[in-house]
C-alpha cells in the first residue's frame, strides 16, 4: 500500500512538472513571436531599412503575415504604416489617400486606440498639405500632437512637431518652425531614432538657410550627409543635396547650385515623378534668373509647364507663374509678365505666405511702372513695403527665438538625460507588467536595456570629450581651426613634405580695410563679413587643404602637395571668389576684398614661423600694390 501510494504521488508530481514545462515552452514561444513582431514594427517605423520604397512595401507585407487578425492594436498599427506608404502623386490618388486615411482613422477611434489615432491623423494631415489645404493640415498636426502627448509617445510627439514645423517654415513662420524642429530633435534623440533625428536635423539646416545663417546650415548638412553616407543610404544623400544647392544659390554660387540641381533632376526623371520633375525645373529656373540667364530659365519653365497641375500642386504652379513673370519682365514683355502675376497672386495671398507674396508684389510694382500705370504701381509698391515690414518683424522674432533656443541648449541637454532615464525605467516597467508570465523574455529584455544604457552613457562621454577637444581647436566665430590648430596643421604638413620630398605651400590673407568696415557698419556686420569669407574659403579649397583663422581678420591656408604655381592658382581663385560675394543683404554699398601672400616651403624654412613670415612679406607687398590681389614670395 505504501509503495502504491508513493507511486501515485510520483506520477502526479511528474504530470504537474510536464504541464508546467509545456506551459513555459508555449509561453516562451509566444514571447519570442511578440518580440519578433515588435522588432519588425520598429524597423519599419524607425526607417531602419535601406533600399527604397519597394523594399519597404515588401517588408510591410511580410509583417502582415505575422499579425493576429483579432488583435486590434496590431492591425491599427499596421494600418498607420500602410497609410504612410500610400501613393499620392496625382490629384486622383491624393483624394483616394485621404479617403483611406479617414477609413483607418475611424477604425482606430472605434477601438479607442489613441496611438493609432495620432499616427493616422498625422498621416492625413500630410495628405491635406499636399492638397494645399494648409488649414486642415495644421489642425490635424495639432490634434496628432495632443494625442501623442496624452499617451506620452515620444516618437509621435517628435513626428507631430517636425511635420508642423515644416508647414510653418514653408509659410515663412521661421521662429515657430525652428522652435518645433528643436523640440522634435530633442525627442528623436531621446527615443534613439537615428534616421528621423538626422532627417529632422536637415530640416533645421534648411530653416537656418531661410534665416540667412548659411554657415550653420552648411555645417548641419555636412553632418547629415556624413551619417547617410556611413549608413549606405545613397538616396538620402542625393535628396539632401537639394538643400545644399539652395544654399549655394543663396551664397551666389549659381554654377555649383546648377550642377547639383542637374543631378537631382536626372534622379527625378529616373523615378518618373512628374511633380518632383516640375518642382525641380521651376527651382532651376529661379537659380538661372538669379544668374541673369533668362533664356535658359525660360527653357526650364517651358519644360515644366506641361507637367503642372494647378489643382494638385498649386504652390508649384504659382511659383512657375512668378518666375515666368520675372523672365518676361526682363525681356520687356510687360503685358505677359502682368498676366503671369495675376495668375500667381490669388493662391499665394490665400496661403499667407509672406515671403512669396513679397516677391510677387515687387515684380508687380515694377511691371505696372514699366507699363505706365503709376497709380497701381504705387499701390503695389505700398503693399510690397508693408509685406517687407511684416517680414522684418518676423525676422526679429526669429532671431529672438533662435537666441533663446541656443541659450537653453546646455540646460536642455541635462534635462534630456533625466528624461531618457525616466523613459527607460517606464519602458522597463511596462514590459514587466505585460510579460509577467514570460519571465525568460523579460530577463533578456532588461539585460539588453541595461547594456544599451551603458553603451549610450559611454558613447555620450566619448562624444563630449571629442567636443571639448574640437572647441579648444576651433575659432568660435567662423568655426574654422583657430591659430593653434592651423599652425599645428602647418607643422604637420611641413614635416610630411620633408619626409616625402614633396612640395608644400602656405598662403596668408586678410580682409582689406576691415577696420573701415567695423567703423562704418559696426562690429556685428564685421563678424558677418568674416563668416561669409570663411564659408567662401572652405568652398574653394581642395580636399586636403586646410584654412584657419589666426586672429582678427587674418587667415592662413595650408596647401600640402602644392607648388608655388598651384598655390598661386588657389590664392587667385579665393581672391576672385571673395570679391564676387553678394553683400547686398547686409548693405547695398558694402564690397569686400582680400589681399593674399603665398610662399613655398624651402630648406631655409626650419619653423612654421619662418615660412609664415615669408608669406606675410608677400601679403604686405599685395597691400602696398593696391590690395585685392595675390603676391608671391620666391
Per-residue pLDDT of 594-611, as tens digits, reads 999 999 999 999 999 999
Q: Quick one: average pLDDT of 104-125?
A: 92
The yes-or-no verdict on residue 354 having pLDDT over 80 is no
Which of 143, 148, 109 minimizes the C-alpha distance to 124? 143
The yes-or-no verdict on residue 262 having pLDDT over 60 is yes
The yes-or-no verdict on residue 468 having pLDDT over 70 is no
pTM of the model: 0.56
The yes-or-no verdict on residue 505 having pLDDT over 90 is yes
Q: Match 602637395 to its residue by C-alpha cell.
A: 561
Q: Is the dihedral of CA 279, 281, 283, 285 positive or negative?
A: negative
The yes-or-no verdict on residue 23 having pLDDT over 50 is no
Coil, strand or helix at 632: strand
The residues, any chain, with a CB within 8 Å of residue 251's CB and separated by 6 or more, are: 214, 532, 535, 536, 539, 581, 582
Q: Are 329 and 366 in contact (CB under 8 A)?
A: yes
- Residues above pLDDT 70, as percent of the chain: 83
Report the C-alpha gap between 130 and 279 in whole angstroms: 13
Q: Quick one: average pLDDT of 447-473?
A: 70
**Cα 356–358–361 angle (5° rounding)?**
110
Q: Are 217 and 250 in contact (CB under 8 A)?
A: no
Which of 535, 409, 524 minimizes the C-alpha distance to 479? 535
Secondary structure of 318-340 in the HEC alphabet?
HHHHHHHHHHHHHCCCHHHHHHH
Q: Are 376 and 366 in contact (CB under 8 A)?
A: no
Which helix (H) or strand (E) segment is 532 a member of?
Answer: helix 523-540
Exposure letters 341-355 (e unless 16+ CB within 10 A, then b): bebbbebbbebebbe
The backbone region for 256, taken as left when phi is positive above 0, alpha when psi lies in -120 to 50, beta otherwise, is alpha
Residue 301 corresponds to which cell in the numbers above?
Answer: 519653365
Report the C-alpha gap between 370 and 383 in whole angstroms: 18
Label residue 556 by pLDDT band (50, 70, 90): very high
Report the C-alpha gap between 385 and 327 in whole angstroms: 22
pLDDT single digits (tens) 132-155: 888 999 999 999 999 999 999 999
> How far are the Cα atoms of 80, 117, 122, 151, 485 from residue 105, in angstroms, in the given order?
9, 6, 10, 17, 57
Half-sphere exposure of 453 (CA within 13 A, CB side): 17
Which of 113, 171, 111, 103 minimizes the C-alpha distance to 137? 171
Helical spans, DSSP H, in 171-233: 174-191, 194-210, 214-231
> How far are the Cα atoms of 185, 188, 192, 425 from residue 416, in angstroms, in the given order?
11, 11, 12, 14
The yes-or-no verdict on residue 69 having pLDDT over 70 is yes
- Say what the pLDDT of residue 17 is: 47
Q: Match 530653416 to its residue by C-alpha cell.
A: 207
Half-sphere exposure of 266 (CA within 13 A, CB side): 8
Q: Are 326 and 363 in contact (CB under 8 A)?
A: yes
* Eight-class DSSP state of 479: -
Label residue 59 by pLDDT band (50, 70, 90): confident
Q: Match 538616396 to its residue by C-alpha cell.
A: 235
Exposure letters 304-340 (e unless 16+ CB within 10 A, then b): beebbeeebbbbbbbbbbbbbbbbbbeeebbebbbeb
Q: Match 533600399 to its residue by C-alpha cell.
A: 51
The residues, any chain, with a CB within 8 Å of residue 40's CB and separated by 6 or more, are: 59, 62, 63, 66
Residue 166 corresponds to which cell in the numbers above?
Answer: 515644416
Beta strands at 554-560 and 504-511: parallel, antiparallel or unpaired:
antiparallel
Beta strands at 554-560 and 546-551: parallel, antiparallel or unpaired:
antiparallel
* Eight-class DSSP state of 628: S
* Eight-class DSSP state of 481: B
Residue 516 corresponds to which cell in the numbers above?
Answer: 573701415
Highest mean pLDDT: which range of 170-184, 203-217, 520-534: 520-534
The yes-or-no verdict on residue 430 having pLDDT over 80 is no
Q: Are 336 and 328 in contact (CB under 8 A)?
A: yes
* Eight-class DSSP state of 176: H
- Say what the pLDDT of residue 28 is: 46
Report the C-alpha gap between 298 and 305 in whole angstroms: 10
Report the C-alpha gap between 368 and 383 in whole angstroms: 13
Q: What is the mean pLDDT of the chain?
A: 84
Label residue 68 by pLDDT band (50, 70, 90): confident
Label residue 370 by pLDDT band (50, 70, 90): confident
The residues, any chain, with a CB within 8 Å of residue 101's CB and separated by 6 or more, are: 83, 86, 120, 123, 124, 127
Q: Match 547639383 to its residue by C-alpha cell.
A: 260
Label residue 58 by pLDDT band (50, 70, 90): confident
- Say what the pLDDT of residue 3 is: 42
Q: Match 537666441 to its residue by C-alpha cell.
A: 403
Which of 222, 205, 223 minimizes the C-alpha distance to 214? 205
Label residue 1 by pLDDT band (50, 70, 90): very low
Q: What is the DSSP string of 379-429?
A: HHHHHHHHHHHHHHHHHHHHHHHHHHHHHHHHHHHHHHHHHHHHHHHHHHH
Residue 401 corresponds to which cell in the numbers above?
Answer: 527665438
Which of 388, 317, 43 minimizes the C-alpha distance to 195? 43
The yes-or-no verdict on residue 176 having pLDDT over 50 is yes
Length of the chain, in residues: 634
- Say what the pLDDT of residue 11 is: 58
The yes-or-no verdict on residue 12 having pLDDT over 70 is no
Report the C-alpha gap between 633 and 622 in whole angstroms: 11
The residues, any chain, with a CB within 8 Å of residue 192's CB and separated by 6 or more, are: 456
Amino acid at each position: 500500500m505504501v509503495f502504491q501510494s508513493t507511486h501515485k504521488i510520483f506520477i502526479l508530481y511528474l504530470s504537474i512538472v510536464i504541464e508546467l514545462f509545456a506551459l513555459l515552452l508555449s509561453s516562451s514561444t509566444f514571447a519570442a513571436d511578440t518580440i519578433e513582431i515588435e522588432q519588425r514594427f520598429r524597423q519599419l517605423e524607425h526607417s531602419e531599412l535601406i533600399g527604397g520604397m519597394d523594399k519597404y512595401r515588401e517588408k510591410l507585407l511580410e509583417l502582415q503575415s505575422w499579425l493576429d487578425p483579432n488583435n486590434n492594436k496590431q492591425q491599427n498599427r499596421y494600418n498607420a504604416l500602410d497609410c504612410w506608404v500610400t501613393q499620392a502623386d496625382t490629384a486622383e490618388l491624393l483624394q483616394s489617400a485621404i479617403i483611406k486615411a479617414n477609413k483607418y482613422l475611424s477604425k482606430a477611434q472605434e477601438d479607442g486606440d489613441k496611438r493609432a489615432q495620432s499616427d493616422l491623423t498625422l498621416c492625413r494631415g500630410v495628405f491635406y498639405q499636399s492638397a494645399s489645404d494648409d488649414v486642415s493640415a495644421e489642425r490635424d498636426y495639432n490634434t496628432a500632437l495632443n494625442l501623442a502627448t496624452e499617451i506620452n509617445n515620444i516618437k509621435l510627439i517628435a513626428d507631430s512637431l517636425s511635420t508642423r514645423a515644416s508647414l510653418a517654415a514653408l509659410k515663412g513662420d521661421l521662429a515657430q518652425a525652428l522652435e518645433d524642429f528643436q523640440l522634435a530633435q530633442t525627442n528623436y534623440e531621446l527615443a534613439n531614432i537615428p534616421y528621423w533625428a538626422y532627417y529632422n536635423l536637415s530640416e533645421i539646416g534648411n530653416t537656418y538657410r531661410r534665416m540667412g545663417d548659411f554657415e550653420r546650415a552648411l555645417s548641419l548638412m555636412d553632418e547629415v550627409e556624413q551619417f547617410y553616407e556611413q549608413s549606405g543610404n545613397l538616396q538620402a544623400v542625393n535628396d539632401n543635396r537639394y538643400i545644399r544647392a539652395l544654399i549655394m544659390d543663396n551664397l551666389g554660387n549659381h554654377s555649383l547650385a546648377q550642377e547639383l540641381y542637374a543631378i537631382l533632376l536626372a534622379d527625378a526623371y529616373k523615378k518618373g515623378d512628374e511633380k518632383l520633375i516640375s518642382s525641380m525645373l521651376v527651382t532651376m529656373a529661379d537659380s538661372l534668373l538669379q544668374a541673369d540667364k533668362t533664356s535658359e530659365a525660360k527653357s526650364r519653365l517651358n519644360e515644366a509647364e506641361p507637367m503642372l497641375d494647378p489643382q494638385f500642386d498649386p504652390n508649384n504652379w504659382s511659383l512657375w507663374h512668378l518666375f515666368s513673370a520675372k523672365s518676361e519682365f526682363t525681356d520687356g514683355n510687360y503685358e505677359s509678365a502682368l498676366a503671369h502675376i495675376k495668375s500667381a497672386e490669388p493662391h499665394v495671398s490665400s496661403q499667407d505666405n509672406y515671403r512669396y507674396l513679397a516677391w510677387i508684389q515687387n515684380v508687380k510694382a515694377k511691371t505696372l511702372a514699366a507699363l505706365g500705370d503709376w497709380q497701381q504701381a504705387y499701390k503695389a509698391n505700398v503693399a510690397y513695403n508693408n509685406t517687407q515690414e511684416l517680414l522684418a518683424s518676423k525676422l526679429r522674432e526669429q532671431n529672438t527665438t533662435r537666441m533663446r533656443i541656443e541659450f537653453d541648449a546646455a540646460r536642455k541637454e541635462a534635462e534630456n538625460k533625466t528624461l531618457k532615464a525616466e523613459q527607460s525605467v517606464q519602458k522597463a516597467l511596462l514590459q514587466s507588467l505585460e510579460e509577467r508570465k514570460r519571465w525568460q523574455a523579460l530577463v533578456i529584455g532588461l539585460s539588453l536595456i541595461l547594456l544599451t544604457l551603458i553603451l549610450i552613457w559611454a558613447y555620450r562621454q566619448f562624444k563630449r570629450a571629442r567636443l571639448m577637444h574640437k572647441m579648444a581647436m576651433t575659432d568660435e566665430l567662423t568655426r574654422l581651426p583657430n591659430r593653434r590648430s592651423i599652425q599645428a596643421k602647418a607643422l604637420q604638413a611641413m614635416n610630411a613634405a620633408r619626409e616625402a620630398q614633396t612640395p608644400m605651400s602656405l598662403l596668408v590673407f586678410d580682409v582689406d580695410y576691415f577696420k573701415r568696415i567695423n567703423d562704418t557698419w559696426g562690429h556685428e556686420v564685421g563678424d558677418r563679413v568674416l563668416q561669409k569669407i570663411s564659408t567662401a574659403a572652405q568652398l574653394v579649397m581642395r580636399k586636403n587643404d586646410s584654412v584657419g583663422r589666426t586672429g582678427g581678420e587674418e587667415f592662413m591656408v595650408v596647401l600640402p602637395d602644392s607648388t608655388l604655381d598651384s598655390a598661386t592658382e588657389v590664392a587667385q581663385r579665393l581672391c576672385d571668389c571673395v570679391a564676387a560675394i553678394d553683400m547686398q543683404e547686409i548693405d547695398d554699398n558694402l564690397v569686400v576684398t582680400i589681399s593674399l601672400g603665398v610662399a613655398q616651403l624651402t630648406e631655409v624654412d626650419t619653423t612654421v614661423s619662418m615660412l609664415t613670415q615669408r608669406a606675410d612679406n608677400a601679403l604686405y607687398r599685395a597691400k602696398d600694390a593696391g590690395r585685392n590681389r595675390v603676391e608671391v614670395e620666391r
